[in-house]
């Protein structure tokens, strides 16, 4: 039992680390693959989340919508380039029911614009529903609840 719990923690922390690496290395085409085919990716301000309000900054409801978003980000949106760097703390594993794991992690994303110093870009909490698939753990849902009420410029790349 304990060794299963240890392995689960390892797998989730590695999932988070791999997710961060894909985004920070700008391998955006890999990003939807961290989700199930009908996986959900939501970015919501904490103000709305805490009040139970539905409005979210970004709400994608399938891998297809994520691929579309990646296309938009890399091919069509005109924006100033920047680097991101994710630092994610060890996940809190909150529940496990069958193959569904509920976990949360605090994250800090730092942004660096060309020729500039790095700055705090977006901090918050991942609220995740994770399922085991043949290809390993995948997000059935990743909800990014961000504290940062004023977003520096705009949020282009996934959090």
- Helix spans in 27-102 (H): 46-51, 63-71
Residue closer to a second copy by CB (options 60, 93) is 93
Rounded Cα distance between 32 and 9, Å, is: 22
Examine residue 135 and tell whether it contacts a second copy (CB under 8 A): no
CB 5 within 8 A of CB 76: no
DSSP strands (E only) in 46-147: 58-60, 83-88, 92-97, 100-112, 118-133, 136-146
Examine residue 115 and tell whether it contacts a second copy (CB under 8 A): yes
Rounded Cα distance between 35 and 31, Å, is: 8
Please give the residues from 53 up to 82 whose contact with a second copy meets the rule CB under 8 A: none
Strand partners for 109: 86, 122
Examine residue 27 and tell whether it contacts a second copy (CB under 8 A): no
Of these, 70, 73, 108, 140, which contacts a second copy (CB under 8 A)? 108
3-state secondary structure of 72: helix
Stretch of 5-13, 56-64, 70-78, 132-140 lying at the interface with a second copy (CB under 8 A): 5-13
Residue closer to a second copy by CB (options 60, 142) is 142
Residues that bind a second copy (rule: CB under 8 A) add up to a total of 52
Nearest to 31 by CA among 77, 67, 78: 67
Examine residue 13 and tell whether it contacts a second copy (CB under 8 A): yes
* Widest Cα–Cα separation across the chain: 51
Of these, 43, 93, 143, 155, which contacts a second copy (CB under 8 A)? 93
Stretch of 2-10, 27-35, 66-74, 135-143 lying at the interface with a second copy (CB under 8 A): 2-10
Contact residues toward a second copy (CB under 8 A) are 2-3, 5-7, 9-10, 13-14, 16-18, 20-21, 24, 46, 83, 85-93, 104-108, 110, 112-125, 147-152
């Amino acid at each position: 039992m304990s060794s299963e719990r240890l392995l689960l923690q390892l797998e989730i922390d590695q999932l988070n680390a791999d997710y961060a690496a894909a985004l920070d290395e700008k391998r955006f085409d890999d990003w939807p693959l961290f989700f199930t085919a009908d996986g959900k990716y939501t970015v919501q301000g904490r103000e709305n989340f805490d009040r139970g309000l539905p409005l979210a900054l970004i709400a994608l409801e399938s891998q297809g919508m994520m691929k579309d978003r990646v296309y938009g980000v890399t091919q069509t949106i005109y924006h100033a380039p920047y680097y991101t760097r994710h630092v994610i703390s060890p996940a809190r594993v909150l529940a496990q029911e069958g193959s569904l794991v509920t976990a949360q992690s605090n994250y800090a994303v730092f942004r660096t614009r060309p020729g500039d110093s790095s700055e705090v870009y977006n901090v918050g909490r991942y609220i995740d529903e994770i399922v085991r698939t043949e290809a390993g753990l995948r997000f059935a849902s990743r909800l990014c609840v961000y504290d940062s009420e004023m977003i520096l410029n705009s949020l282009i790349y996934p959090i």
